[in-house]
Structure 1
Amino acid sequence: MVVTVILTYLVIGPVATLISNSLAWLVSALYSIPYVGGAIAGAILGGGFGVLVMFGLHWAVLAIAISNIAVNGFDYIAVVTAVGPFVGMAQGLAICAKARSTKVRNLALPATISQICAVGEPLMYSILLPLKKEYAINIVCGAIGGVLLGISGAKAYLMGGQGLFGLANYIDPATGNMSDFYKVLICLAIAMVLTFIVEFIMYSDKRAEEALQ
């Protein structure tokens, strides 16, 4: 116990802080690149934000988004991080639609419902990580969705809820302009359809049963 506390304060904490600060710098640097910066940052954050959440490193990125909204009234970073719950939702729906295994469906259905509120841990730990290929699909499709959102130039005006309840974040509260809302909606719809098709094709009951034994 004493050793763990010492390691946390002297090693793990400083290393995590260094990584978080480096990620924040990288994201800011990418967005400053003309034309392609948003797409590159979108690919990294869209595909990798779930990984950052697993290790608690996402707060550095979200801090930039919160600061941007406070200073500028809008932010681009929060937009691309929104793709994860929708990709997960599409994956869960595809698995529920194709799976014949009662065990898999009993895991996938409630986990998919959780994704509506952007609670991704049930799907992540019960399905995606054990099956591995599903996790790879999640990352790739998330990255594609992130690229679309990055290219769209859509802005977030609030740091509210996530998932379906976060769509209002993209409506300009000052003017009521919904152009960013529609951009996000279109990009998320494309990402979800792509994810559903890929997952439906790639999913295998036999592989799932073996992984979840």
Structure 2
Amino acid sequence: MNTKAIRKIIEKAIKDEKATHSFANLTKEFARKNGRNMSDQQATETTNLVIAYAVAVPSLLEEGEKAAQRFGIQNEMSQMLRELDQYWKLEQDLLPDNLGLLGITDDAYASNYLLQTLSDYCKEMYGRPLMKTDLTEFNNFVRVLLGNEIASALEQRVQMTIGSNMVNQVFNQVYQNIFSSGFAFGNPFQSMYEQRQIDEQVNVQMGAMGIF
């Protein structure tokens, strides 16, 4: 998978955000609609969380592609990553890339959703997950920012991609169990923070935005 190209897309979006602060302004508007006042500092911290979420994606994809070999699903993984790569390159996807940081948040969410679905499958089948880490709170955070309509559409696309590539009966049975029981998302930030600190930071930002 061409993660180099994805990194360039992310870098461009971050550069745009630093110049325009459009995502930070959107988070303040989101908070206002939820009856909360968000300071400039809180908006910046929230934006930095989303930037970190996006920046981690290429490394996660590389980890997932490498780990797939240990579970004998490298061919299936390669095809799914090619499809995901095409979504990253689409300028007019669910959130157009010309929206800057917001425009790549859907791509990042789809990437993590795909990886964690396969990770849960490996855990069910082999007793160990594909991915080493946990990003549950970050995923919930980003999903709320995207909104249910966009997030659900992304999830459906990912499910179709997985379902068309992982066609064996055993996988489909486990796969359905995973979707009915919810997801835990792998955490690419373990080297940056302790997990407890990450969860606390996300919870603070979600509270500031009126998410809970």
TM-score (norm 1): 0.28
Q: Decide which structure has the larger Cα Rg and report it.
A: 1
